[in-house]
């Protein structure tokens, strides 16, 4: 297969190129090149997708399939226009943020969507969902039924995750000592390994698997995610290798704190500075981590065990340097301070409370 990847130098695009090369395909990565280099063995086409004729060189060739990871509607509208005759099948990587509601568990692909962004440029993350809806609409209109796939990815993790969302917990358990966690054991989490997603994107392109798909991981409670992270770090309870930790209590080395207390201390949810990753207090967003992947699984999506993803992510985090700044989590000093405050607060409670 002669495959054009619009991107291929940043995380998911790079992994997709790696997977396609491993499968023996002829791969070209079209990008500015500012996010890194394509993998060895891939051809590189330097393009500027913001220019009206930015894909002229790619449009002059024939491709069996195109994989696109853009979030900018203008870029996608131009690529659909220019590659309609040159690309046999178009795979667009979208997001679960396109859905109008994020509360419902088990949400399938026919759920209502947000209104599309009219502008060509998404100028802030607040417009991320509407921008991806606009991109989806451009692909569907340009390539038509049977000639495209819309892949709505969930939270992506694994080696190379610079956001810190998938690496924080296994790394923190590996560092030892009491671990501050939000006391939300039943909150759902859902993580797909970047390598599993990349391999499936290539498969979808190979087999011309048309349709709309939720590409998400297994839904597990927060307590189970923490237990798997601890096991990946070698500090979990004795267990069969890579078996799921069903109905897991919080690992013994954790120190749970109520969401209210954490908010009062200025601890943020989900990601970013001074945060506890994957914690989401608002139930209106819990369905974001509990979507159905039945359609994608039926179409060949394979998921490795969560523990393996977290173990490999831990290895990558340690190789990248444990002391470097991260996009999510608490610093050691922040966590030490919070644990001390929590202990002081507990000491002031009446005996027996």
Pairing verdict, β 219-221 and 188-193: antiparallel
Contact residues for 149 (Cβ-Cβ < 8 A; gap 6+): 89, 90, 91, 92, 204, 209, 210, 211, 212, 213
- CA torsion 66→67→71→76, rounded to 10°? 10
Tens of pLDDT along 190-230?
Answer: 999 999 999 999 999 999 999 999 999 999 999 999 999 99
Looking at residue 290, what is its pLDDT? 98
Distances, alpha carbon 91 to alpha carbons 127, 143, 149, 161, in Å: 22, 10, 5, 22
The H-assigned helical ranges of 153-264 are: 168-175, 194-207, 222-232, 259-264
Question: Using CA atoms, how far apart are residues 297 and 306, in angstroms rounded to an integer?
Answer: 16
Work out whether the CA dihedral 349, 350, 352, 353 comes out positive or negative: negative
Tell me if 67 sits within 8 A of 38, measured CB to CB: no
Looking at residue 251, what is its pLDDT? 77
Question: Using CA atoms, how far apart are residues 160 and 195, in angstroms rounded to an integer?
Answer: 10
Tell me if 289 sits within 8 A of 190, measured CB to CB: yes
Question: Using CA atoms, how far apart are residues 155 and 294, in angstroms rounded to an integer?
Answer: 17
Distances, alpha carbon 70 to alpha carbons 79, 118, 121, 240, 300, in Å: 10, 16, 11, 41, 24
DSSP readout, 37-77? PPPTT-EEEE--TTSTTTTHHHHTS-BSEEEE----HHHHH
The neighbouring-strand residues paired with 180 are: 255
> Can you say how many angstroms the Cα of residue 257 is from the centroid of all Cα atoms in its chain?
26
Tell me if 228 sits within 8 A of 239, measured CB to CB: no
Question: Using CA atoms, how far apart are residues 218 and 283, in angstroms rounded to an integer?
Answer: 19
State which residues of the chain have pLDDT below 50: 238-242, 246-247, 353
The H-assigned helical ranges of 233-331 are: 259-264, 294-298, 306-320
Question: Using CA atoms, how far apart are residues 81 and 76, in angstroms rounded to an integer?
Answer: 8
Tell me if 270 sits within 8 A of 279, measured CB to CB: yes
Pairing verdict, β 272-273 and 328-329: parallel
Question: Using CA atoms, how far apart are residues 173 and 180, in angstroms rounded to an integer?
Answer: 10
Question: Using CA atoms, how far apart are residues 270 and 329, in angstroms rounded to an integer?
Answer: 9
Question: Using CA atoms, how far apart are residues 353 and 184, in angstroms rounded to an integer?
Answer: 20
Looking at residue 351, what is its pLDDT? 54
Work out whether the CA dihedral 322, 324, 330, 331 comes out positive or negative: positive
Query: How big, in percent rounded to 5, are the helix, strand and coil portions of the chain?
Result: 35, 20, 45
Domains, the chain, with CATH or none: 2-153 (3.40.50.720), 168-188+221-282+305-347 (no CATH)
Angle between helices 194-207 and 11-22 (to 10 degrees): 60
Contact residues for 161 (Cβ-Cβ < 8 A; gap 6+): 11, 167, 194, 313, 316
């Amino acid at each position: 297969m002669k495959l054009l990847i619009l991107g291929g130098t940043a995380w998911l695009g790079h992994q997709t190129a790696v997977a396609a090369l491993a499968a023996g395909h002829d791969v070209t990565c079209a990008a500015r090149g500012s996010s890194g280099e394509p993998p060895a063995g891939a051809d590189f086409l330097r393009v500027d997708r913001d220019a009206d004729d930015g894909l002229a060189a790619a449009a002059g060739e024939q491709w069996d399939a195109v994989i696109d990871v853009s979030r900018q509607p203008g870029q996608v509208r131009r690529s659909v226009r220019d590659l309609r005759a040159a690309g046999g099948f178009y795979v667009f990587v979208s997001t679960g943020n396109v859905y109008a509601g994020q509360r419902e568990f088990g949400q399938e692909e026919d759920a209502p969507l947000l209104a599309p962004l009219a502008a060509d440029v998404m100028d802030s993350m607040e417009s991320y969902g509407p921008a991806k809806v606009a991109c989806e609409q451009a692909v569907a209109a340009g390539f038509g039924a049977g000639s495209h796939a819309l892949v709505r990815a969930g939270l992506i993790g694994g080696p190379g995750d610079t956001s810190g969302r998938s690496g924080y917990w296994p790394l923190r358990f590996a560092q030892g000592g009491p671990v501050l966690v939000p006391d939300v054991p039943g909150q759902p989490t859902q993580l797909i390994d970047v390598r599993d997603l990349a391999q499936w994107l290539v498969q979808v392109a190979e087999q011309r698997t048309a349709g709309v798909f939720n590409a998400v991981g297994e839904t597990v409670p927060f307590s189970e995610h923490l237990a798997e992270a601890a096991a990946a770090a070698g500090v979990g309870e004795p267990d069969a290798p890579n078996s799921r930790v069903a109905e897991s209590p919080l690992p013994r080395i954790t120190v749970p704190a109520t969401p209210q207390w954490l908010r009062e201390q200025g601890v943020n949810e989900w990601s970013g500075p001074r945060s506890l990753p994957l914690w989401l207090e608002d139930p209106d967003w819990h369905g974001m981590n509990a979507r159905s992947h039945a359609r994608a699984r039926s179409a060949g999506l394979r998921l490795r065990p969560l523990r393996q993803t977290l173990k490999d992510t831990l290895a990558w985090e340690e190789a990248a340097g444990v002391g470097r700044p991260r996009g999510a989590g608490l610093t050691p000093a922040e966590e030490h301070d919070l644990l001390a405050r929590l202990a002081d607060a507990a000491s002031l409670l009446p005996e027996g409370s």
